[in-house]
Amino acid sequence: MLGKRVPDFSLPSTGRSPSHGTFNLSAHPRVRHSRDSLAAHERFKEKMRFPFELLSDPDEAVCRQFAVMKLKNLYGKKVRGIERSTFVIAADGVLAREWRGVKVPGHAQEVLNFVKAL
């Protein structure tokens, strides 16, 4: 998918967006996404004082689109979950960069450096 246009998608969103809690990729150049519930998103957003909305993917449609659902080890058991990933979708809708299997230390700065260089 890298270097190709990302198909439009719609997901439930936190906050009071103009589209009444629905996010459409085609209407927004920036995406923050997770498959957790909106209530959990609202609490996390408030706790972290994020100045942006968070998205929820309860049916995992966008997770499948980006192939982030994986079998992971949790205390020695195989569980299905999201592979921590970051995707930068350029203003023209093309997937400009992806990071998979992300480790937190230094990642935000790496993403910021990439976005600033666009």
Residue 66 backbone class (left: φ over 0; alpha: ψ -120 to 50; beta: rest): alpha
Domain spans, the chain: 10-117
Is 3.40.30.10 the CATH number for 10-117?
A: yes
65-110 confidence digits (pLDDT tens)? 999 999 988 899 999 999 999 999 998 889 999 999 999 899 999 9
The total of other beta-carbon atoms located within 10 Å of residue 74's CB is 9
Q: In the chain, where does DSSP find H-type helix? A: 38-48, 61-65, 107-117
For 17-70, the pLDDT digits (tens) are 555 578 788 776 554 555 567 788 888 888 988 888 888 888 899 999 999 999
| Assigned token pair, 28 | 């927004």
- Tell me how far apart the alpha carbons of residues 54 and 40 are, in angstroms, rounded to a whole number: 10
First to last CA, the chain: 18
- Give me 41's structure tokens: 């998103």
Quote the tokens at residue 74. 């949790």
Query: At residue 112, does pLDDT exceed 90?
Result: yes
pTM of structure: 0.65
Instruction: Check residue 29 and give its pLDDT.
Output: 57
